[in-house]
Chains A and B, each alone.
Chain A
């Protein structure tokens, strides 16, 4: 096993090109998409409410840093929307809003989602206010409670399903890291197939090394390769770009392992199924891109509303990978809170690995 690792690492140092290139491309994508699509987008708003009230709403909305809401006149907003210089414009009302837009962009869902949750909270506050009468005492307590970070933290963790916390830079960082690591891992796993075809595998069979050792050496190498890539990307973003992991950095470095295990198992399963390496090479981009789309790597799964797509996403490793990584960072969850998605990943991995190795063993070359 150590011997195999030694050989693989030698080969990597001889040809590190594709590893370095995918790592860099991944960083570039995560960096620019994390910055531009979400945080720099300006959304003009207008309202017939009193100025002070509008300002308060806008300040509240801008706290999330997802979009920049700017107050303008009704005419400018409508013109900008019609010209297409902005993606959407909004009329803010006391207890509802109207969203103007020309074409449906990816941001439409995000804006809609944010306004939705903002207004439902506002309506709830109003309801509380009506119930207890306009006692400024209650409002003070509410305000205090909101300002208190301890309380905020506990709210976001238990209400994770209802209240959606969005961090665009982590979303795209995690999404692209999980997406690109599929390539890195899959193309290292398929080397087993190549070595079978070239007869190197036969040489290993004839040596004293066991079958278990052969697979373990190869798959451990794939795990290390994928791990180093993701860890490298995370480190660069944390210390280089100053991305805030909300205190979950260490946890992410551990919790990418179950995800990588599942991807390795999936790769060996596909390698066992295909007839040629060419087929494998054609399948991987197809699978990884559809996984990324369905599993919420390109855009947050939270904005997907179709039941069918959500059901499909339950069978996709990326969904759980994203859930775990976002869980322990943005939502501040603990290890035990993400035990379920971890178990699902491990279960998928064990099943795919078992079938995959069987398929690999039963094929001749």
Chain B
């Protein structure tokens, strides 16, 4: 349905997106995962025709849309990263305003507003001013506005940032329902890997403007099939212990979240002995050791040496 070829975006002094490629089939939920500043929003802006790419192409059904933005705008619903609503209007008035802007006929609009209010679960608050809403409710309405004109493709830019867990679950369920019941194609951007892991059929992981891994969840995780993650909890984390670990030959990556250490090591190697010896030498008491199957977080750690969230 949608393809992106060698897309780059150079700002005055910064290359935000460095030649990324991806595709989406109709009815898929595709995840775009990456830390802040990875270039996700810039990529989305280029796809949705708000920002012109420096080079590269965006194709909708095999037709370049760079010169014909109205084609993609018609089928597209964009949920922006920031809440783009009138705070001094009610939820219903916001929907009515953007509905009018989308030239939806009066009678259709009435019906459509009811449907959208139902989907985002704000029917009972429709007459309240948006500024009185919680963060989660604002986010839901932010999504609702993008659904008004019944888009085939929805692009969501971090739709769950900074909200409570219930609202977050509600949004995730809504996205899933929209996809299953209405076959809406979704590009879901996030820096929360659990969300992407839960929702998405396929995932692109972005960092520093590049796609560093892509595929289904299992495909991506198999990057780590040769590796395992050790989670070690110590009583007191000492500098010498950490230095000693870093010096061990087989350890690929260490991330520290005092007093918990995550270590990625090759599967075959039995490193536990060496770790216990090191602990003894540095008088470090290990309270627990776990061996985990890898998560997307681990993949990111593996690929970049950094954690997704800092």
B-contacting residues of A (Cβ < 8 Å)?
Answer: 2-4, 6-7, 10-11, 14-15, 198-200, 202-209
Q: Given A6-B97, A204-B101, A207-B102, do A14 and B84 touch, yes or no (CB 8 Å)? A: no
B100 close to A198 (CB less than 8 A): no
Q: How far is the CA of A207 from the CA of B74 in the complex (A)?
A: 8
Is residue B145 contacting chain A, with contact meaning CB distance below 8 A? yes
Please tell me if the beta carbons of B84 and A6 are within 8 angstroms of each other in the complex. Answer: no
Q: Which of B69-100 contact A (CB under 8 A)?
A: 70, 73-74, 76, 78, 80-86, 88-89, 93, 97-98, 100
Contacts of A4 in B (CB 8 A): 101
Q: Check B43 for interface membership: any CB of A closer than 8 A.
A: no
Chain B interface size, under 10 / 10 to 19 / 20 to 34 / 35 or more: 20 to 34
Per-position binary interface string of chain B over residues 99-120, scored 1 when its CB falls under 8 Å from any chain A CB and 0 otherwise: 0111100000000000000000
Whole-angstrom CA separation of A283 from B74 in the bound complex: 40
- In the complex with contacts A3-B97, A6-B97, A206-B78 CB distance below 8 A: yes
Interface centre among B49, B85, B86 (most CB of A within 10 A): B86
Pairs A-B, 4 closest by C-beta atoms: A199-B84, A3-B100, A7-B97, A199-B80
A205 cross-chain contacts in B, Cβ below 8 A: 50
Nearest CB of chain A from residue B45's CB, rounded to whole Å: 8
CB pair A10–B89 under 8 Å, yes or no, is yes
Q: What chain A residues lie within 8 Å of B74 (beta carbons)?
A: 208
Contacts of B103 in A (CB 8 A): 3, 207-209
B189 at the interface (CB under 8 A from A): no
B residues within 8 A CB of A199? 80-84
B72 vs chain A, min Cβ distance (A): 9
| A199-B81, A202-B50, A208-B70 given; 7 more Cβ-contact pairs under 8 Å | A3-B100, A10-B97, A11-B88, A200-B86, A203-B98, A207-B73, A208-B74
Q: How far in angstroms is the closest Cβ of chain B from A277? A: 15
Whether B84 pairs with A7 at a CB distance below 8 angstroms is no
B190 CB contacts on chain A under 8 angstroms? none
Chain A residues with Cβ under 8 A from B83's Cβ? 198-199
Set of chain B residues within 8 Å of A206, measured between Cβ atoms:
48-50, 73, 76, 78
Whether B85 and A200, one on each chain, are in contact in the complex, defined by CB atoms closer than 8 angstroms, is yes
| Cα of A198 to Cα of B102 in the assembled complex, Å | 19
Tell me the chain B residues, 138-180 only, with Cβ under 8 Å from chain A: 145
Can you name 15 A-B pairs with beta carbons within 8 Å? Answer: A3-B97, A3-B101, A6-B100, A7-B89, A11-B88, A199-B81, A200-B86, A202-B84, A203-B101, A206-B50, A206-B76, A206-B78, A208-B70, A208-B103, A209-B103
Q: How far is the CA of A203 from the CA of B141 in the complex (A)?
A: 14
The answer to whether A10 and B98 touch (CB under 8 A), given A202-B80, A206-B73, is no
CA distance A2 to B84 in the complex (A): 20
Q: Are A198 and B84 in contact (CB under 8 A)?
A: yes
Q: Which residues of A contact B102 (CB under 8 A)?
A: 207-208
Closest chain B CB from A316 CB (angstroms): 34
Evaluate contact between B49 and A11: CB separation under 8 angstroms.
no
Kindly state the separation between the CA atoms of A116 and B74 in the bound complex, as whole angstroms.
Answer: 72
Q: Which residue on A lies nearest to B78, using beta carbons?
A: A206
> What's the Cα separation between A116 and B176 when bound, in Å?
85
B34, chain A: closest CB distance, angstroms: 20
